[in-house]
Structure 1
Amino acid sequence: MGTGLPCGGAEHRILIENSEYWLRNYGDLAMLEVTVRRLRERWPQATIGIMTESRALVAAYFPDALGITVGDRNPWGRSGPLERVCAALGPALVGPGAVAWLRARSRLLARAIRVRDRLRGRRSPPAERADATGAKPATELVPRIEQRHPGAARAVREASLVLALGGGYLTDADLPQAGRVLDLLEYASAAGIPAAMVGQGIGPMRDPDLRERAARVLGRLPLIALRERRRGPGLLDSLGVASSAVTVTGDDAIELAQHVRNVRLGNDIGICLRVAEYAPVAARAQESVGAAVRGAAVEFGARPVPLIIAETPGSPDRATTLPLVRASANAVAALGRFVRPREVAEQVGRCRVLVTGAYHLAVFALSQGIPVVALTSTEYYDDKFLGLDDMFGGGVRLIHLDDPELGAQLAIAIREAWKAAETVREELCVRADEQAAASREAFERLFELLERSHA
């Protein structure tokens, strides 16, 4: 290539801002798996660091990568004996202990914060103010990431590239994570470290502070690859981001589902109901969803399949999905808690129709030519699913969970999707292949960006 780089990019250190630090969302894991594989294909000897709260889980899922935490003192140091053991054992054996530790630590941390806040309240120290010259307190001169996440700051300073993985976190619905990612990207840009975003779903974004920060940070990035074109490009344009930096690729997880695509159409009905703070669902609506899916399974002689894409504390799909099929005589057993995303995509691939409130299950289905009945209760999920429908040229039927005729409307949607499945399959697969190719082209731009910076 004539860049003067060491063979295999041996000196590269690529820091991935992973959108889910506990590695408990199989959609995020799918994007991460595709990203790591692409980076390895280009630079076999590069060091790949993944931001996380569990080095053990990173080692179990990605043995050739480093887990980097926000408090790491030596983020790019070699893996220790524990990580090597976890890499050998894999996620099924490592996962339960790693997550138990994360939960215990979270409880202890929350307790410590409450005690600290009570003590601060008793002392009531005067707030720091600018002195007579107008100078800010010293703490305000230190970048926020160095104060809150010093390990991440160290990792950025020693990186060759900072890459923000795909997700839907640049939105009003996820302000803490949006702030964390913007902190990282802004710090990288200020330090002269190349940074980019891939597979992004952006918005809704009306919060004025978030918009101001996003405009300041995103406008400095040379590449932002979006997973949809319905909302993202216009939103970035409204923030002043140059169109030359923006490209639309589709979701990076499409490639993983593409690789497990079945030759024949399945005969199961997949179901996942997402209930979370950002996706509220009334108890009566949950009952209606279960009844409609069970009824359709009987009507078509199909097996209902509970599909779990997120095991995170704030959105445990297992707890809200399994009850929906419990009364079915022939329901398929759910996968275990610490599987690989490929296994989830394969289970989706045995379905003829998918009913889902979870975005990445819809990605897995559409990428394999399977129509989707999408369940939504918020504008955030409206945008996610309508963006997918646009990228695939159809294949998604939106059902609102607050519809007073929910049960009847859902039954009709499932019936129509079942009948149309053979007709829409080929076109959905073609659209998936086009998006996977566009995503790879965006990564070529990313590779060239880093290689030019090291030429």
Structure 2
Amino acid sequence: MTRRARDGRDEQPLRIVVQNGEHWMRNIGDLAMLSVTLRRLRSRWPGASLHVMTSVPALLRAYHPDVHPISDGRLPGFLAEPLSAAASRLGPSVAGFASLGSLRAREELRRVVERLRKRSVAPEGVPAEEAGPDDGGPDISTRPAVAAALRDASLVLAIGGGYMNDVDPWQFHRTLDLLQHGIDRGIPTAMVGQGFGPLTEPALVARAAEVLPAVHLIALREDRVGPSLLAGLGVRAERVLVTGDDAIELAHTVRRDALGAGLGVCLRVAGYSPVAVRSQEAVGRAVRAVAGEFAARLVPLVVSEQGSEDRRSTLPLVAAYPDVAPVQGRFVTPQEVARRVGRCRLVVTGAYHLAVFALSQGIPVVGLSSSRYYDEKLHGLDAMFGGHGLHVVRLDDPALEERVASAARTAWERAPEVRAPLRERASAQIQLGKVGFERVFSLVDEPSIR
């Protein structure tokens, strides 16, 4: 899509700068939100130039050949573009493993530089896999590729994610810095599919209060925490919408008519989701017992490939069971994972977006939490689905094995009756999401309403 200047000549196409929720593209939930966002943008503005922030340009282009990667490192644009364009013809598996090789080389270079500098740790708050000699700090908006994209931008859009909180200060800062640069240049700015909180760190709260009130639109994925948190930061109510998670649309689109027969399982163990070994073992015993009672196949599910965190935590849970589905590949599409979820009758998960994928298709969920961060994510999701199909179990519960087993048995038996209500709630949220994007589109198409 192009604008027409007053003299009748066509101006440059719309340039949309998209802040991706996870720059390494190793999280299926973030890939799902990106996929839905890009499809919606392309549907409205077919000729627009879409530019997406990423640490792995080749992998981005393998998933989305028609977008332009904005490298958040210091690789010059004239090198990043042809290299990533070539990767778009290879597919995610080839491009993904090539990106991993590049990542390992970068990590080794980082270690050498650290030794030379007598530094033993990455900068505070920086994920180890994202730290390196190119990463001088979270404000990447002054780097050549980013600055060039911002210079002629028609919209700066931060897509959904759970990074506006105390848990991920790196992504928190670089998103707000990018939005601030857009605001300072008079560019329309918006955030969609956002999960806010917990946000208590004084420096983060102060920074949020500086930037967020000037963002033209903030669409939230839940209504339990986000609206009141934003109000406390000074964001006007008319700039806030509750739409649900944008990944709902992707999962709902691949839903099956037939009720699934498998029991899907994923356990997330990470710094922001700590789980004791005894609790991991208890979850494993519970899911194996329930699957055995119903003669169900166990289906290991993976959302995050960062450090293979979901694989390392999940595969041991199913290893001792006689009927286990083959584990998915490392570089699959979110649609493939959503279809895999669709073959389940029940999902037991410590990964938020697997719960989204399941509920969106009418499949009940036992959600596992070990932190306030996950409490808020899962309870917020449950509220958006009307309390019909998500039972949250704390992983520090002294009776964890019995709690998980009991919740799983109940959910398995109730699966047929919750299917329709869950799908109806998914449809309603998809419509809310479309309304939210219409508001985003109007920021560009009708600037007078900002």
TM exceeding 0.5: yes
What amino acid is aligned across from residue 32 of structure 1 in structure 2?
L
Are 2:355 and 2:365, in contact at CA under 8 Å, matched by a contact in 1? yes
Q: Confirm or deny that 1:420 pairs with 2:422.
A: no
Are 1:271 and 1:356, in contact at CA under 8 Å, matched by a contact in 2? yes
CA displacement at 1:154 relative to structure 2: 3.2
RMSD: 2.4
Deviates more, 1:98-107 or 1:363-372: 98-107
Equivalent position of 2:108 in the other structure: 107
Are 2:360 and 2:422, in contact at CA under 8 Å, matched by a contact in 1? yes
Are 2:358 and 2:364, in contact at CA under 8 Å, matched by a contact in 1? yes
Among residues 46, 49, 71, which one is paired with 2:48 in the alignment?
46
Q: Confirm or deny that 1:354 pairs with 2:347.
A: yes
What amino acid is aligned across from residue 430 of structure 1 in structure 2?
E
Equivalent position of 2:336 in the other structure: 343
What amino acid is aligned across from residue 372 of structure 2 in structure 1?
E
What amino acid is aligned across from residue 96 of structure 1 in structure 2?
F
What amino acid is aligned across from residue 38 of structure 2 in structure 1?
V
Among residues 235, 238, 250, which one is paired with 2:229 in the alignment?
235
Name the SS for the 2:322 alignment partner: coil
Are 2:160 and 2:193, in contact at CA under 8 Å, matched by a contact in 1? yes
Query: Deviation per CA, 1:315-355, whole angstroms, max 9, x where unpaired?
Result: 62011101110111111111100110000000000111100
CA displacement at 1:173 relative to structure 2: 1.0
Are 1:354 and 1:362, in contact at CA under 8 Å, matched by a contact in 2? yes
The sequence identity of aligned pairs, in percent, is 51
Equivalent position of 2:212 in the other structure: 218
Cα 1:157/1:203, change in 2 over 3 Å: same
CA displacement at 1:10 relative to structure 2: 6.1
Structure 2 unaligned blocks of 5 or more:
121-136
Question: Equivalences for 1:165-176 in 2 at 5 Å?
Answer: 165-176=159-170
Equivalent position of 1:135 in the other structure: none
Aligned length: 430
Cα 1:68/1:2, change in 2 over 3 Å: closer
Are 2:138 and 2:171, in contact at CA under 8 Å, matched by a contact in 1? no
Equivalent position of 1:128 in the other structure: none
What amino acid is aligned across from residue 162 of structure 1 in structure 2?
V
| Structure 2 Cα separation of the partners of residues 225 and 368 of structure 1 | 22
Are 1:218 and 1:241, in contact at CA under 8 Å, matched by a contact in 2? yes
Name the SS for the 1:145 alignment partner: coil
| Structure 2 Cα separation of the partners of residues 275 and 115 of structure 1 | 33
Cα 1:43/1:147, change in 2 over 3 Å: closer
Are 1:9 and 1:44, in contact at CA under 8 Å, matched by a contact in 2? no
Cα 1:81/1:229, change in 2 over 3 Å: same
| Structure 2 Cα separation of the partners of residues 234 and 345 of structure 1 | 32
Name the SS for the 2:163 alignment partner: strand
Equivalent position of 2:129 in the other structure: none
Cα 1:298/1:147, change in 2 over 3 Å: closer
Equivalent position of 2:386 in the other structure: 393
CA displacement at 1:110 relative to structure 2: 4.2
Q: Confirm or deny that 1:96 pairs with 2:89.
A: no
Question: Equivalences for 1:8-407 in 2 at 5 Å?
Answer: 11-71=13-73, 75=77, 80-116=81-117, 145=139, 149-313=143-307, 316-394=309-387, 395-407=389-401
What amino acid is aligned across from residue 192 of structure 1 in structure 2?
G
Structure 1 unaligned blocks of 5 or more:
120-142
| Structure 1 Cα separation of the partners of residues 333 and 140 of structure 2 | 34
| Structure 2 Cα separation of the partners of residues 283 and 73 of structure 1 | 41
Query: Deviation per CA, 1:350-401, whole angstroms, max 9, x where unpaired?
Result: 1111000000000000000001100000000000000000000011101111
What amino acid is aligned across from residue 50 of structure 1 in structure 2?
V
TM-score (norm 1): 0.90
Deviates more, 1:61-70 or 1:83-92: 83-92
Name the SS for the 2:106 alignment partner: helix
Are 1:8 and 1:46, in contact at CA under 8 Å, matched by a contact in 2? no
Name the SS for the 1:41 alignment partner: helix
Cα 1:448/1:27, change in 2 over 3 Å: same
